[in-house]
A and B are shown apart, each in its own frame.
Chain A
Amino acid sequence: MKNKYLSWTLFTLLLLLLFVAAALLSLTTGEAAIGLGDLLPVWRDGEQMEHFILTRIRLPRIVLAMAVGGSLSLSGAILQGIFRNPLVEPYTLGISGGAALGVALIIVTGLHLSVGAFMLPLSGFSGAAIVIVLVGLLGFLRGGTDVNKMLLIGVMISFVASSAMMFLMAVTTSENIHGIVFWIMGSLDEPNPLLIKITLYTALSGLLLSYLFARPLNALLLGQEKAAYLGINSKTTIRLLFLLASLLTGICVAVAGVIGFVGLVIPHLIRLLAGSDYRFLLVGSFLGGGIFLVLSDVVARTLIAPNELPIGVITGIAGGILFIIVLNKNRNRRRHAQ
């Protein structure tokens, strides 16, 4: 029997290598022709326009793609473990709905024009936070941890939020509608270095923190009761993990809009390739999500150049197709195992 720790380490190294490859691809793709060999000289020459493009536009995008892709996939893996439901992803709990509604409100009232553009990510996060509190409070009422109830509440909140957004869009100007829709479709175009730093540090801290729960998550796969027999305090574990996953998601949505499917598909993909053990799944999903988003960003920037597609379009279509393939492979595997 192969040493699973060895294979996990190798797999992690492989993913890191893939990430570096994807990052290099992204750094050398774009309007400004910067080849692999040019990277170092352009980096050193602070005067050229290419240097600015490399350091101010392309590099931040890659960092943000890593942070957002990693956070969303990590969050998806965690939530799929808590809810023991393969269809759960970070947005199922209504977090993206709350964030989108918050942003829509700001755009419609024009506050970002009068107070500052930072109002947009702030309102996005506030909207997400309100939903997190709501779902958390209602789910953890009376000391319970009814995860199914939380799921339903989250889905309902999503519906209410999207109807509320349609109401706003019905009464506002066409420019605002365009702005809202485009924000919702997701974009890694974030010129504010502070926000990128926040997202990166949150992502990395989230990854580290999640490892404190790797074994509890494995135990939870057997169900809350059985996990309790194994000595896991499932109530506290679930609550803390829920908070962690939601915060990660909230920050991602606030900074980059709604980028769907990453949190749903990547954990499943990694499970298919390396098994359901959370001791690897956490870092595997994180890296896998980062790679997926960096590559999706490259496609979004080049498919209809010089026009840019919103990244949510690429992750949605590519992610959806990938998911169907993964699901089919899974079914075939189980049939063969029988």
Chain B
Amino acid sequence: MKILLSFLLAVLAFNLNAQKPAARIVSLAPSLTKSIYYMGAAEQLVGRTSYCFIADADDKEVVASAVSVNIEKVLTLKPDLVLATGITNPETIALLQRAGIRTKVFQTPRNFEEICLHFQELGRLTGREAAADSIVAHTRQEVEQIKASYEGQAAKTFFFQIGANPLFTVLDHTFMNDYISFSGGINVAGGLKAGTLSREWVLMKNPEVIVIVNMGLVGEEEKAIWESYPQLRAVKNDLVFFVESDMASTPNPPDFLKTLQSMQKILQAR
């Protein structure tokens, strides 16, 4: 009886411990840092990467670059939760787990639905469920409205460019593909396995819309190159435009919505 009781107590204690909101969080990815800020959990953040620009104004310790994590620094911060993504080095994660630190890995979301689920999961971990759920609900509503606004129109063919030299596009089963499908479009690169394309191929597909993720001057030059082909339908429609890079490539609900809205403004103005 005693053994059963102590066992039950242990299980209870373990569960309670697991469900306590994290008070000292280290984020190893800029997208996750952004999510934390959006749901109002910034005070709980103690460590970030050098590319988490949203946290620049605050006094947070930098523990990682784009490719490597200073594990010692992470350990000295004594976090109770470390957040990582699919591109974080798995050995780093294994090391942290061996050191007894709770690590949560968020794989890159493959669609808008997963973006929302990850956001809500993060909300539970940080104890900001209410804020996270409300943001997700609001975003879902707005996204549905945007999707509805394209109903009844013929689907347009899109080319969504996310890289130059080499020319790189958005593929199926990535959340960025939803920017196209939610805007009443079809991805010309749908069905392809790799994203490096030849310009010739894109020209022959003759897309009706070309979206370029803004990459400074290189982006401007890409736009100029596309516009030098007057037979391109996108050029005839005057639908070669930019979306802001940071906003479009960060998988969280508010940034996804803002990107979709910026696209809607241009697509529905013409």
Q: Which A residues are closer than 8 A to B by beta carbons?
A: 30-32, 47-49, 52-53, 56-58, 110, 112-117, 170-175, 177-179, 182-183, 187, 189, 191, 301, 304-308, 310
Given A57-B200, A179-B165, 9 other A-B contacts at CB below 8 A? Answer: A32-B200, A32-B204, A52-B231, A53-B200, A175-B163, A182-B166, A189-B198, A307-B195, A307-B198
Q: Which of B165, B201, B216, B232 contacts A183 (CB 8 A)?
A: B165
Residue ID in chain A nearest B245 by CB atoms: A175
Residue of A nearest to B199 (CB): A57
- The answer to whether A304 touches B206 (Cβ under 8 A) is no
| Tier of interface size on chain B | 20 to 34
Question: Do B200 and A110 touch (CB < 8 A)?
Answer: no
**B198 & A306 in contact (Cβ 8 Å cutoff):** yes
Instruction: Tell which of B68, B203, B225 touches A32, judged by Cβ atoms closer than 8 Å.
Output: B203
Q: What's the minimum C-beta distance from B51 to chain A, rounded to whole angstroms? A: 7
A-B residue pairs in contact (CB < 8 Å), sample of 18: A30-B200, A31-B203, A32-B203, A47-B231, A49-B206, A49-B229, A52-B203, A57-B199, A58-B200, A113-B215, A117-B221, A170-B65, A170-B68, A174-B87, A306-B198, A306-B201, A307-B197, A308-B197
Contact status B166-A49, CB under 8 Å:
no
B192 touches A307 (CB 8 A): yes
Q: Choose from B87, B200, B216, B221 the contact partner of A114 (Cβ within 8 Å).
A: B216
Q: Specify the chain B residue showing the minimal Cβ separation from A192.
A: B221
B99 part of interface (Cβ distance < 8 Å): no
Q: Which of A30, A48, A177 meets B231, CB within 8 Å?
A: A48
How distant is A279 from chain B, measured CB to nearest CB, in Å?
40
| Residues from chain A with Cβ under 8 Å of B193 in the complex | 307
Q: Which of B158-213 contact A (CB under 8 A)?
A: 163, 165-166, 192-201, 203-204, 206
Contact of A115 among B195, B217, B232 (CB under 8 A): B217
Q: Is the CB of A191 within 8 A of B225?
A: yes
Residues of B within 8 A of A116 (CB): 217
B67 within 8 A of A: yes
Q: Determine the distance from Cα of A52 to Cα of B165 in the docked complex, in whole angstroms.
A: 20
A29 smallest CB distance to B (angstroms): 10
Chain B residues within 8 Å of A191, by CB: 225
Pairwise interchain contact B194-A304, C-beta atoms closer than 8 A: yes
Roughly how many angstroms separate A112 CA and B218 CA in the complex, as a whole number? 7
How distant is the Cα of A149 from the Cα of B218 in the complex, in angstroms? Answer: 41
Bound complex: CA of A226 vs CA of B99, how far in Å?
70
Contact: B218 with A117, CB < 8 Å? yes
**Is B9 an interface residue, CB under 8 A from the partner?**
no
Smallest Cβ distance from B214 to chain A, in angstroms? 10
- Chain B minimum-CB-distance residue to A49: B231
**Residues on the B chain within 8 Å of A306, using CB:** 192, 197-198, 201
- With a CB–CB cut-off of 8 A, which chain A residues contact B229? 49, 52
Partner of A173, one of B66, B204, B216: B66
Q: Which residue of A lies closest to B162 (CB)?
A: A175
